[in-house]
Structure 1
Amino acid sequence: MKNLWVVLLTLLGIVMNAQDLQKIANEIKEEGTDLYRSEMASWYGTDIFRANYEKMDNVSGYFSYIDEKVPKCIFFSKDKKVIGTIAFPTNYNPKDAKLDLNERDFTSLESEYFTIRQNALTRIKNDTIFKVYQNTSLNIVPIIKNNVKKVYVLTGPSVDNVVVFGNDYLISFDNKNEVKNVEKLHKGMIVQNINDKEVGKTVGGVHSHILENWQTITPTDICTLMLYYKFTNWESYTVVSKKYVSMWNGKGNGLLIMKEKAFKNMTESIKKIDAERKSKTEELK
């Protein structure tokens, strides 16, 4: 009876641990999806705006946000006026986007986004933690959700056939929109080819996380994988650290996070089963 209770308590611990990890996975994927939606609006919004607005010298910058479930990309002038608003449907089809080039003031929400964006930009220009590598640029992605204000800084490539992970940062703000913390999400920058000279078209990839505070896959990783999926069609992607193994599924945008020890035990069990099957097959021949 005592052994039975030990087994039951062990199983209960495993289930509860799996539930905790799934909660973490869901939160990371949700944050990554928020980043993806903002970046998609910026990608297409920039193309649409440039094709229709003539006075580009008047443009000071842009940012994207979700306005009551509607993805919007807005451009603002040097006079801090909105000079372009592009609203997208949920599928981000540029043909169905609504363009408004009427000049107007920021809404109260847009003013908040503008402020943390500008404060983030100032910090980027003056803090040596931020790096810019050749053939890349830094993308500023402000997020306001549940009264929490933050700016993610992602690195985007300016050349084709590559997906860039890392060299990304998280800037957190206080309730006065002042920067309270800046941290790196990856130790460095990871570049993976979509089409490789030796293996041809890649089907997935893997990179490792070293930073203690970011042992799982990051929201920026999820955002990048979602953004480039239409180019990569990667079946899966894995992030490994000393604590966790994070596995992303491309087709379903699923995310599974396991403790590294549990993942190692699982793979060893699979190898053992495969070896036994091969042995039995040889005996039957």
Structure 2
Amino acid sequence: MKQNYTVRQGALEGVETFLAIARSLSFRRAAAELGVTPSAVSQAVRGLEARLGAALFTRTTRSVGLTEAGQRFLDRAGPAFAELVAAGEVVRDLGRRPTGLLRLSVPRGVVPLLLEPVIASFARAYPEVELEIVASEEMVDLAAGGFDAGMRFGQFIAPDMVAVRLTPPLPFLVVASPDYLARHGRPRGVDDLRGHACLRLRRSNGAIAHWTFVDGGETVEAAVSGPLIAHDYPTLIGAAIQGAGLAQVPGPLARKAITEGKLESVLDDLVVTTPGVFLYHPGKRQMTPKLRAFIDHIKSAP
């Protein structure tokens, strides 16, 4: 059976005053410690005793002592209040400097492109931050998933997010292995793609992405077909390297394979440019020091 747990309004009122008196066994010294008047201390204790229904102190003109109820309350409330104070310090610390767990949701293709080059340097620069990278193609709910931020290609970011540019606009290249091109020939135009094995991407919303080109200043979309549908760009690039067909992928992800001669680009005169990679988060008011430090670090990386 589900139980309801509530904290009465003002339940903690007077507890700090009680603990200050219990430490010094003096209303006057407690008032000085708290920076209030002795009458304010007395009033706070009377209110606390009224809510608890028991006297907490025995008082004479010469001394102050704890009642049995007061001692029991001190034994339980003292450690609990110390934990509350410590919890507040932890929260304030998170708001003052880069520390704690930083969770990011990123597509697999962004990891080698942007994260691998900066992980080590960020860890050295901010040793009190734990960086957790969750590689997923899904457009996750940041709040529900417990993420500080996400990274995505710009055209896939929800309009209610604050987006921070991490890369310039990126060309999307059509690539294939030299072996594939030797066997099937090089396409010369969009219409030639009908005779080729085209490796396709399924987006997080379930739709298969069309291939996009710029021809004569106009954007052209092509519904291609082929033997493989993948959910991320690294898988498409790997299949293209193995000769499975043509793939349209972000240029920076294919650059290494092109340099090494494992892939060649085709249809270069029709290349489309996309917005680039952005980091996104819910809003400026929720920008923590650890996230700000990460953004500044990755943007300043060579």
TM-score tier by shorter-chain length is under 0.3
- TM-score normalized by the length of structure 1: 0.23
The higher radius of gyration belongs to 2
- TM-score normalized by the length of structure 2: 0.22
